[in-house]
Amino acid sequence: MRQQIKCGFIVRTTGILLAITISLIISSCEDFLEDVDPSAALPVDDGFSNLNDLELFLGGTYRALIGFGGDLFWVVLPDLMTIDVTTISSPCPNPRQYDFNELTADNGFLQAAWSRAYETINQTNVLLEKVDQLSSDGIITTEDARRLAGEAHFLRAFANFQLVRLFAKPIDQGNGGELAVPLPLSGVTAASELENLPRATVSELYAQIIIDFERASSLLQGSSLISGRANEWAAIAFLAEVAFQQGDYAGAFNHTRTLIDADVFGLVSSPEEYFNQAGTREEVWSITHTNQEPNGLLGLTLGTSCNSVMLPGDLYARAFDLIVTTGQKEVLSGNGWSVVDLRYTHLTNAQPENWRSLKYSSPDESDNVPAMRYAEIVLMHAECLARINDISGSVQYLNMIRARALEVYDENESLLSDDVILFAPEDFESGEELIEAIILERQVELLLEGNRFHDLMRLQRDVNGIPYDDCRLRWPIPQGELDANPNISQDYPGDC
């Protein structure tokens, strides 16, 4: 009996290299590709014969990003490694190992994240090969081939970017040659094709990520903006973030400037609007969910199971409260005024004794998960401007975020102008002081979106008292991969 591909095939492994099962159900792609009429099944030995087959497979490739081990982990687990997110009191080992920075190779969350990332990468590799084949044979148009390949390059870059930032030390001038994770560039559709790939270096991963995002940007030029689908602007946005992560602030500035000048995206009117409405102007790229394909984040961020997470009770004092400076507080207090941060009142339950995020609060867990939103572009641009000593320009962009989030009230609870909590260039004695204000604003604005840990790595700062380059802050290679692949080892020095 022939093996069947349904809605594209997913290579599922406990590592990269274990046995393959092929099992995606077509119905899971119908909402995503409404214009495609799925056939019952596509036999593997017949390959891909037309555009419809490729579209179905692309839908399955996007879906490799979601669910257990997918975007749920990329946005929560990195933040859980910082002091901004914590577990509820419980003995559950999987989240607590992240919370206490004591990850072991047999952690179930770790294995799921690894498998889902490489599942995505394998599908993009297969898709690229099949697109090239059908395009060369004249079966699909050049336009369709460019679009499909562009989305595949984008998704491969995204998955590799998550892997290299979490499983390897942060890139800097001295560690580009250090080992990171395997970098497969060809697709696997049968067990006989499996390779025991060694770990590539940090530099090799970043080089390929940049190539893929650049190709995606070029191939998707002029593509329609469809919620959840890769587009040229999202590729540019991630090129900015890749440069930002490497400390290449000139490169990040050029990319964020391109996005801002294009005037394709913008901030919505209130902090909660982005999270309560799908497809707003602030969405650069998100990972889409439906009630049939939930994100799992409601149970994780508002649930009571031992896998749930919460916000530490002192987070407001450490972060939200600190974004209003001492001088601003003196003006507010002297006039009997008060300031409200809408990100606190509208995007948390505002109960420090049991503090939870409301960013992912749909009862059916159908919230889309932000992979990149315009607020992040604005804050990246502000920091890049501060680093080239354009204080006035930087303050302008920082204030765009503050003006939306902060409200000032008089003693009668009447809304006043927010001028008192907006910054002026003369409020900062140096560019470094302004950069610190932007970093703090990022901590508040991007809470539980998977950014804080990566900021600390980029800035080479301690995490919970652990030095940024300590192996305890790296995700270990999962035990399943170590067992399956003789060409890979943990290779951690010292006590790890």
| Mean pLDDT value of segment 288-307 | 85
Answer CATH for 223-288+312-355+368-446 from 1.10.1740.10, 2.40.420.20, 1.25.40.390, 3.40.250.10: 1.25.40.390
Token pair, residue 403, equals: 């003006």
Residue 178 has pLDDT above 60, yes or no: yes
Token pair, residue 133, equals: 């084949």
In the chain, the percentage of residues whose pLDDT exceeds 70 is: 89
Residue 351 has pLDDT above 80, yes or no: yes
Residue 448 confidence class, pLDDT cut points 50, 70, 90: very high
Residue 128 confidence class, pLDDT cut points 50, 70, 90: very high
Count of CB atoms situated within 10 Å of the CB of 262: 11
User: Over the chain, what is the mean pLDDT?
Assistant: 87
- The residue extents of the domains of the chain are 223-288+312-355+368-446
Residue 392 has pLDDT above 70, yes or no: yes
Query: In angstroms, how far apart are the furthest CA atoms of the chain?
Result: 81
**What was the pLDDT predicted at 25?**
28
Residue 88 confidence class, pLDDT cut points 50, 70, 90: confident
| Mean pLDDT value of segment 252-266 | 98
Dihedral sign, Cα of residue 325, residue 454, residue 209, residue 279: negative
pTM, rounded to two decimals: 0.91
Exposed, middle or buried, 416 (CB in 10 Å: 0-12/13-18/19+)?
A: middle
226, HSE (Cβ side, Cα atoms, 13 Å): 12
d(CA 154, CA 174): 28
Residue 492 confidence class, pLDDT cut points 50, 70, 90: low
Residue 30 has pLDDT above 60, yes or no: no
DSSP assignment of 181-227: -----S---SGGG-----PPBHHHHHHHHHHHHHHHHHHTTT----T
| 3-state SS record for 228-297 | CCCCHHHHHHHHHHHHHHCCCHHHHHHHHHHHHHHCCCCCCCCCCHHHHCCCCCCEEEEECCCCCCCCCH
| Mean pLDDT value of segment 480-489 | 93
Residue with tokens 């490739």: 61
Residue 261 confidence class, pLDDT cut points 50, 70, 90: very high
